[in-house]
Amino acid sequence: QSSRRPTATRVAPCIPLAYPQSWADTPSRVSCSSAAWAHHSFLGKRQRITGTSIWAEKILFLDIKKTGELQRAHKLAFELLFPLCLGKSADPHEFLGISAKEKQSYRKTGYPFSLPAFRPHVTLARLRPAKRGVMPQLSKKARQHFPNCCIEFSKICIYAVGPHGSCGKILFEQKL
């Protein structure tokens, strides 16, 4: 391990704290609870990148260290948002090679990374089946690009899910 201080990169992508959902009620209602987010110190603070991984045999993640701060923010997002959701994925599809904990989370909430299965990450790529053979090379290149690195997040967004869980239309945004 290097003793150098990690560099920080400002990124536009999101770290999913909750889950892409079909909404039963409008999440903009959560804006009245935005004061609750002010106490979450992960915003504006460097979050360590721990590496890259291939998830569900088709998605390349930039993995972020699972800290107590991020877990508490995830729990708050879950508590605020789950009552507004239909409890099923807004973009259902099959996930291959995922853990039993992720399968259980997906069945219960419509998102594979809820509560104990929370996995902080930034999605770097999603590949079609015909292109998945290049995933190991992409993962290696991404790992080389982000050595000893941290990223910072400066706002909370709630969004309508797009294809493959991508960030669609932003429904609520709070800079902190």
pLDDT in tens, the chain (176 residues): 444 544 444 444 566 766 555 666 555 555 445 556 666 667 778 899 999 998 988 888 999 999 998 898 888 888 877 877 776 776 667 788 899 999 998 888 888 888 999 999 988 888 877 677 788 888 888 888 887 788 888 777 777 777 777 777 777 777 76
- Calculate ∠ Cα 48-52-58, nearest 5°: 140
Element containing residue 101 per DSSP (H, E): helix 100-109
Looking up tokens 């009620």 gives 25
In angstroms, the CA 51 to CA 146 distance is 8
- Calculate ∠ Cα 9-67-69, nearest 5°: 90
CB atoms within 10 A of CB 34: 15
Enter the pTM of the model: 0.79
